[in-house]
Amino acid sequence: MRRSACGPVFRGRAVVPGSAAAPAVVVRAPFDALASFMTSLVSGMDPVVSSDTGNPEILGETLTGRVLCIPAAVGSTSAGPTWDLLASRGLGPAAVLCAGPIDPLTAGGVIIGSLWGGSTAPVVDRLGGDFLATVHSGMLVEVAVDGSVRLDDADRCPPDGRNHPYG
């Protein structure tokens, strides 16, 4: 039985409401969807692995099924079709969490992906700088439909999940 996250809770705006729980992959530089996803999408890779050579922090990291934690996205006209293609192939992240506001082109892409591509991945923005300062790759992240995000702080949470310091 998987224990639920028991760390701090951050509240953001649910751009695409939904719930998810998965390990985080954290990006400290703005996220470029085309550079990160396109090589895997064109070659038919499953799962999708980041191919963004401009972002060595996540180069080669698996993005499918993970909670993607980013400061912001690099919006471009390719963002919408990239997110939609990911959704239609079922290869997207489990959730996308932005510390700042999501840009309009990325927002359009993830919304189209949820409506036309069948993606159930929640997208939450405006989580704040403290969110990115606290979350780290591999940490369990739980996203609720209201845009709240709970992080698993394994160092502070007992294995049974009871009497944890965050209430």
Assigned domain for 159 exists: no
Min mean pLDDT across 30-34, 77-81, 146-150 is at 77-81
| Cis preceding-peptide flag for 47 (omega within 30 of 0) | yes
Alpha-carbon gap, residue 16 to 135, rounded angstroms:
21
Range of the domain at 83: 9-151
Alpha-carbon gap, residue 14 to 11, rounded angstroms:
9
- pLDDT at residue 154 tops 60: yes
Alpha-carbon gap, residue 57 to 153, rounded angstroms:
22
Report residue 89 as tokens: 């192939």
Q: Across residues 19-43, what is the average pLDDT? A: 90
Domain total of the chain: 1
Assigned domain for 163 exists: no
Assigned domain for 156 exists: no
Assigned domain for 160 exists: no
| Nearby residues of 46 by Cβ (< 8 Å), 6 or more positions away | 64, 89, 91
Report residue 85 as tokens: 């293609």
Assigned domain for 157 exists: no
16 Ramachandran zone, left/alpha/beta (phi>0; psi -120 to 50) = beta
Assigned domain for 90 exists: yes
Assigned domain for 30 exists: yes
Express each pLDDT in 52-111 by its tens digit.
988 898 999 999 999 999 999 887 778 788 888 888 888 889 999 999 999 888 888 888
Continuous segment of H or E residues that includes residue 130? helix 129-134
- Amino acid 87 reads A
Q: Give the per-residue pLDDT at 5.
A: 58
Residue whose entry in the numeric block shows the structure tokens 């959730």: 95
Q: Across residues 16-32, what is the average pLDDT? A: 94
Alpha-carbon gap, residue 37 to 35, rounded angstroms:
6
Task: Tell me the whole-structure pTM to 2 decimals.
Answer: 0.86
Assigned domain for 23 exists: yes
Q: Give the per-residue pLDDT at 116.
A: 82
Alpha-carbon gap, residue 62 to 117, rounded angstroms:
21
CATH number at residue 53: 3.50.30.10
